[in-house]
Amino acid sequence: MICKRFALVGSGFIGQVHAASLARHEGSALTMVADAAPERAQALAARYGARAVTVSEAIHSDAIDAVLIASSTPSHAELLEAAARRARRSIAKNRSTSPWRAPVRWWSGCSP
């Protein structure tokens, strides 16, 4: 499956970099933006014609193909686990603060 519709979790500096990158790729769309600070999510979403949503809405929406995680590094494992449990393709650039245990924990909890 080719991912075309993305939800971005995190609208800080790196989230803005990823949003701009998605905008440059024909066929890709930033559909949703979520952030712990709703006003930041709204501002970034407005810039790219996306919808500002909660993290839960982004992960559970049927309107996306993948979740791009650009939030703070300590939140990655929890967000990856939530996305995996929803059978979402997910991308997080940084490893979690616990490089071995957290990824193993979320990976082993996934069902096919």
Domain ranges of the chain: 5-108
Contacts of 22 (CB under 8 A, 6+ apart): 6, 8, 28, 29, 30, 48, 68
Q: Is the pLDDT of residue 108 over 50?
A: no
Query: With bands split at pLDDT 50, 70 and 90, how would you rate the model's confidence at 80?
Result: confident
CATH of domain 5-108: 3.40.50.720
For residues 4 and 86, which has the higher predicted lDDT (pLDDT)? 4
The whole-chain average pLDDT of the chain stands at 80
pTM of this prediction? 0.78
pLDDT at residue 84, rounded to an integer: 75
